Each structure stands twice: as C-alpha cells, then as structure tokens.
Amino acid sequence: MAYPRLVIDQTILRHNIRKILDECHELDIDVVAVIKGINAMPEIIQVLIDEGITTLASSRLPQLKKVKSLHPDIQTYALRISMPSEIDELVEVADISLQSELTVIKQINDVCEEKKKTHEIMLMLELGDLREGVYNQDEIKELALTIENDLPHIHLRGVATNLGCYGSINPTDEKMNELIERADYISQLIDRPLEVISGGATTNYPLIANKTMPSGINELRIGCGFYIKDQDELLNYRMIDQEAITLEVQIVEIKDKPSYPIGEITVNAFGDKLEYVDKSIRKRAIIAVGKQDIGGHNKIISLDKQIDIIGGSSDHTLLDITDCDKHYQVGNILSFHLMYEALLMSTQSEYVELKFK
C-alpha cells in the first residue's frame, strides 16, 4: 500500500450529491457540478453522472475535453473567462462559458461561424468581490445588446456572478437580489427573459439550507461542497455530514526536540521569515507529505484533534504530538481533512495515490 493517499468514499460521495441535489431541486435550482477541485477524476465524474448531474464545469479546458471524450452527452461549462489564445479549443470542448470581455465574445462568434456552431454565454457580472465580471451599467448594456443583435453564433443564456473569492464577500440574499435586478434589466433591453441566473458556488449554500435564496436564482455551480467540508469550521456552518475525501499519510520520524530553532535564524526554504515560539522540548512527528502535495501545511486539518500541525516544507509536514493520548510510532498512518487548496493540489499530484472505497 502506498502513501500519501486520498481515500475516496463513494457511498458518502453519493449521499452528499443526493442531499445537495434534493435541496436545490426543491427550490427549482439547477446544479452544475464543478470538477476542477478534483482534477476531473473520472471515478468521481461517474458518480456525479449516476446521481443525475447533466452539466459538468471546470476552469481548465483540458478537463472539459476529457469529459467530452468520456461522456459525449454531458453538457460542458467553462468557468474561467477565456484567454484569447484558447478560443478554438473553447468552442470545441465547451457548450457554455462565463465571459466578460466583448472582444473575446466576438472572437468566439467568429470561431463558431467557421465551425458552424453556436456557443452559449453567461455574462459575468461584478457584484463586489472584485474578481471577474462587468461592473459598469453602460458596459452591461453594450454587451447584452451586441451579443443579442450582432453576434448570430452566440446565445446569451443568462448572467452569473462569483462571490467569496478575492474579496471574501459573503453571497447574501441582497447580493442575489442585485443579480436578479440586473438580469431583469438585461431582459428588458433584449425583450426576452434570460434562461439562467447563476448565483454562485458552494459559498452560496447557506442560502439554500436556510431557504433564503431569492426566487429567480435558478443555477448554482457547486464543486468542493460535494467532496469536503472545507470552511465549515471557519464559517460555523454544516453543508454535508461526512466528507467524501480524506488524506492518509505515514509517519517517518518521531523525536523529542526543542521547539525553538538552534542557531542563527534567517529565512526558510520558501523565502518566508517565520516566528517561532519556545515551548522547550516537545515530541515531534514528521509525516511524508509536503507543500508539493497539499499546498501548505495549514491547508489540512488533523482528525486527531490533539495533533498540532506546526510547519512544513516541500516534502515534510511537522507535527507536535506531545499532547496526544495515542502513542504514535514511526510507520503509523494519520488521517486529515483537506481544505480547498489541499484538495486541488493533492488530486493533481502524481505522488499522491488514490484509494476508492
């Protein structure tokens, strides 16, 4: 058996998907499953499809290409506003995309004309998180009218927004109502209703659970919520009961050592200047997993709450196990919850094994 490994529990995964789909469907909200956080893992995609998902989304076109080759009937949705250099590929592998720049949208129209295709666009609107999206009202008007009247190979399917990323803005019902208002404004301009108003991602889920999602929002793009709890502890909120993916790693060293480095302190291997607290001698364990596999040592959470994760480098993560009731030994396996960054990194790593159960 090889470590580190991700343990993927398909029964829990199925249960989580069902719960989320049921709760969303009850409010007439369609769920697009986002697969970028799990590196488009085919086994997980299969479970998503078995449970009724018909649209898969990713920011990375090679992942959508993989979906199209494995499941030609599944609708694909590109999440990152497109690079001008990837429009040919976009039109090949994605049915729908999020966009915010007219020059790019015109380019998509031209490529579609050559390929005798149509492409569906969701216009990305800026609601304050300050990542991608059109902010200016005149620009919204120009984009909507141009797409509707001058670009015959583009269908304006709806509008979308993204919150809770760069600006850490909470997707509240007020924000959702703002999105609905802008969609109404566009509908009046183009004299037809937009089919889809896409409210956001996993971070929108509290509005579903509390049933405070304004009616009008009819799509969510859910990724990590199916797989991990991620920020439940930080946001004091529970979306799923159990996580479908956990990380198992092996202990490679256990020794009593001082907690304060001995010698002249400069910067660490990554150029960061760290603060160290002197707690005198502590029992420390090293596990064989590092930044290369998980992004950062603070992106995993120990299932044994008495373990303190104190640091890490590319290949090692350092633990303080002084306060553990359990007597760990070299060779023991420890389990961890993954936060988003660790899920993203570990699922792409060729050094992290996968174990399905």
Task: Catalogue the active-site residues.
Answer: 36
Q: Concatenated DSSP letters for 140-158?
A: HHHHHHHHHHH-TTEEEEE
Question: Measured from the CB atom, is 144 or 201 closer to ligand PLP?
Answer: 201
By CB under 6 A, residue 36 contacts ligand PLP:
yes
Identify the residue whose tokens are 């089919």.
195
| Contact yes or no for 121/147 (Cβ under 8 A) | yes
Q: Could you write out the DSSP letters of every residue in 88-142?
A: HHHHHH-SEEEE--HHHHHHHHHHHHHHT--EEEEEEB--SS-SSSB--HHHHHH
Nearest approach, Cβ of residue 210 and ligand PLP (Å):
18
Cβ atoms of 198 and 220 within 8 Å: the answer is yes
| Among positions 201, 318, 334, 342, the unique one binding ligand PLP when judged by CB under 6 A | 201
Q: Which is nearer to ligand PLP, 35 or 186 (CB)?
A: 35
DSSP three-state, residue 301:
strand
Residue 79 contacts ligand PLP per CB under 6 A: yes
Rounded Cα gap, residues 22 and 20, in angstroms: 6
- For ligand PLP, which residue of 16, 63, 99, 202 counts as binding (CB under 6 A)? 202
Asked whether the beta carbons of 206 and 299 are under 8 A apart, the reply is no
Nearer of residues 221 and 229 to ligand PLP, judged by Cβ: 221
Site for ligand PLP in 53-72 (CB under 6 A): 59
240 contacts 246 by C-beta, under 8 angstroms: no
Output phi, psi for 231, to 5 deg: -100, 15
* Burial category of 236 from C-beta neighbours within 10 Å (exposed 0-12, middle 13-18, buried 19 and up): exposed
Residues 122-161, mask of contacts with ligand PLP (x by CB under 6 A)? ----------------------------------------
Compose the 93-112 pattern: x for residues touching ligand PLP by CB under 6 A, - for all others. Answer: -----x--------------
Q: Which two tokens stand for residue 57?
A: 């989304």
Q: Of 17-25, 34-42, 45-53, 278-286, which segment contacts ligand PLP by CB under 6 A? A: 34-42
Region of 29-37, 236-244, 264-272, 273-281 interacting with ligand PLP (CB under 6 A):
29-37
Residue span binding ligand PLP (CB under 6 A) among the ranges 33-41, 68-76, 140-148, 178-186: 33-41
Q: H or E element: which one contains 8?
A: strand 5-8
Q: Which stretch binds ligand PLP (CB under 6 A): 31-39, 167-175, 180-188, 348-356?
A: 31-39
Smallest gap from Cβ 80 to ligand PLP, in A, equals 6
Residues 209-228 contacting ligand PLP, CB under 6 A: 221-225
Question: Which candidate, 41, 101, 96, places its Cα nearest to that of 70?
Answer: 41
Size of interface with ligand PLP, in residues (CB under 6 A): 14
Which token pair is 307? Answer: 């373990």
Q: Which residues sit at the interface with ligand PLP, rule CB under 6 A?
A: 34, 36-37, 59, 79, 98, 162, 201-202, 221-225
